[in-house]
Each structure stands twice: as structure tokens, then as C-alpha cells.
């Protein structure tokens, strides 16, 4: 068969945040239930319920209609979080309800951050350090899946999974909710984030200790999925030092075999 890559394509459109959110929740649920069974599932459900309850309170408070019957299609319920179309529909209904009241809705980045943090808190409250491990393992498998997809995205435009093709084929779009600088060095890529939508929401909610479980795992796991020899040094965090600092490095394959 001939090369099926279309001429003129330089990179692909970003994956939607609805898809990313659904995949994250799926991997977290799988990790927690594999470790703790039905009790783990109950903890995840409790975390999502906390977000739903917070969402109800927020909507009623901001509209000034404390007794208003809320449309359940605008609420991020547990059963809606594992399919991208369900997540998208829920978010659109939520944003529509806010718009009708002349209010600004939370972004999907903020909603994903809230979901992860509240689920993390409930899992950690229930299972302690083992719960932390389960949450981080879920983020790890989620990240590796994303990394493999980034490698496929690169291959689709005729590029190998090398360091130079990582960021240019990244799956998640960068909105103005993120501010960062990227420096390309001969043997590494250096990135510094001064603004992160996820971190900002965790700080607003006082959920830093749960949000950082995501931060510890996500970028190294994505890099590993993209290429087993690709590594990330993440030595500063917005949630700790006020910036996230990354050094992306490709290990020498021959050295890696020793």
C-alpha cells in the first residue's frame, strides 16, 4: 500500500476536552475499582456527588433562585462522565443554563479539575496512602494512553515519535487559560508554565493536595506512552513554587539497554 498521509497536513486538530475528561474519569475509576472493588466505586461516586452538590449550590446562589428546580442534564452526574458525548452534552447544557441567567460558566478545564480533586479527596479519605497510589496509577495509565495517541497523531502526518515531534503533535489544545514559554535546546525541550487552568481551580477550591496527584503523574506518563525513552523532569509546580518547570529529554537508546 502507498503512503496514505495527505499532502499538506502538518498536524491534527486537538482532541476535545470532553474526550480527555471522559478518558481521565474512566482510567481513574478502573484503577480505584481494581484496587478496592465496590468500596472504591462508592468512593468515586461520592467524589462526583460532591461536585454535583457544589454545582447545585453554586447555580442557585448565583441565580438568586434558591428553590429553583434545576435541569439534571446540566449537572455532572456520575453516570455521565465516561463517554465524551455525555460530557459534552452535560457541559453544553450547564453553559446554556448559566448563559440564560447572564452568568459566566466554569470552563471544561475547571470542571475536570473539580471532578478529579473531589474524587481524589473521597478516595484518599477512604483508603489513605493506598488511595493516593490508586489515583496516581489511574492518571498514569490515562497519560500513557494519551502518549500513545500522540505518537499515532505524529505517524498520521508522517513523523516519527521523536522529541522534535512531541509538542507539535500534542493532543490537548492550549487556550489562553494556560501561559507558558517553550525553549528548544539541542538535547532537551524546556517549558515553564506561569498559568494553568487546572492549578488555578485547585487553588481556588483549596484542593491543592489532591490536584497535585494529577500533576505528579501526568506529563511523565504521557511522555512514556509517546516513546519509552522519552522522559520528563518536572522539578517545579504551580501549586508549590508558583510555576511548573519541565525538561523533556530523550534517553539514548543504546544507553537505555545497559
User: How much is the average pLDDT of 25-48?
Assistant: 98
Q: Are 138 and 30 in contact (CB under 8 A)?
A: yes
**For 192-221, what is each residue's pLDDT tens digit?**
999 999 999 999 999 999 999 999 999 999
- Gyration radius of the chain over CA positions: 19
Q: Quote the CA–CA distance of 108 and 9 in Å, as a whole number.
A: 28
pTM of the model as a whole: 0.91
**For 112-122, what is each residue's pLDDT tens digit?**
999 999 999 99
Let me know the angle formed at the C-alpha of 199 by 161 and 103, rounded to the nearest 5 degrees. 115
Domain ranges of the chain: 17-257
**For 38-73, what is each residue's pLDDT tens digit?**
999 999 999 999 999 998 888 777 766 656 666 788
pLDDT at residue 8, rounded to an integer: 43
Q: 100 Cβ partners below 8 Å, 6+ apart?
A: none
Torsion on CA atoms 44, 47, 52, 56, rounded to nearest 10 = 160
pLDDT at residue 179, rounded to an integer: 94
Burial of residue 112 (CB within 10 Å: 0-12, 13-18, 19+) is buried
DSSP string, 70-97: PPGGGS--GGGSSSHHHHHHHHHHHHHH
pLDDT at residue 72, rounded to an integer: 83
CA of 47: how far to CAs of 60, 79, 86, 153, in Å?
20, 13, 18, 33
Amino acid at each position: 500500500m502507498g503512503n496514505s498521509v495527505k499532502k499538506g497536513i502538518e498536524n491534527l486538530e486537538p482532541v476535545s476536552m470532553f474526550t480527555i475528561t471522559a478518558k481521565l474519569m474512566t482510567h481513574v475509576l478502573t484503577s480505584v475499582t481494581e484496587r478496592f472493588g465496590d468500596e472504591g466505586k462508592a468512593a468515586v461516586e461520592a467524589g462526583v456527588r460532591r461536585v454535583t452538590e457544589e454545582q447545585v449550590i453554586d447555580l442557585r446562589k448565583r441565580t438568586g433562585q434558591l428553590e429553583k428546580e434545576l435541569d439534571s442534564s446540566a449537572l455532572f452526574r456520575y453516570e455521565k462522565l465516561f463517554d465524551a458525548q455525555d460530557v459534552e452534552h452535560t457541559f453544553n447544557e450547564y453553559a446554556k443554563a448559566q448563559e440564560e441567567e447572564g452568568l459566566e460558566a466554569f470552563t471544561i478545564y475547571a470542571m475536570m479539575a473539580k471532578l478529579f480533586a473531589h474524587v481524589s479527596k473521597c478516595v484518599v479519605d477512604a483508603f489513605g496512602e493506598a488511595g493516593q497510589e490508586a489515583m496516581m496509577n489511574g492518571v498514569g495509565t490515562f497519560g500513557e494512553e494519551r502518549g500513545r495517541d500522540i505518537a499515532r497523531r505524529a505517524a498520521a502526518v508522517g513523523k516519527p515519535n521523536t522529541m522534535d515531534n512531541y509538542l507539535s503533535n500534542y493532543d490537548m489544545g492550549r487556550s489562553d487559560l494556560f501561559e507558558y514559554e517553550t525553549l528548544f535546546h539541542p538535547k532537551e525541550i524546556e517549558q515553564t508554565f506561569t498559568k494553568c487552568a487546572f492549578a488555578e481551580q485547585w487553588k481556588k477550591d483549596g484542593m491543592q493536595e489532591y490536584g497535585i496527584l494529577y500533576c505528579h503523574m501526568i506529563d511523565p506518563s504521557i511522555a512514556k506512552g509517546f516513546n519509552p525513552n522519552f522522559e520528563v523532569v518536572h522539578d517545579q509546580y504551580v501549586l508549590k513554587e508558583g510555576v511548573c518547570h519541565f525538561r523533556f529529554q530523550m534517553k539514548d537508546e543504546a544507553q537505555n539497554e545497559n
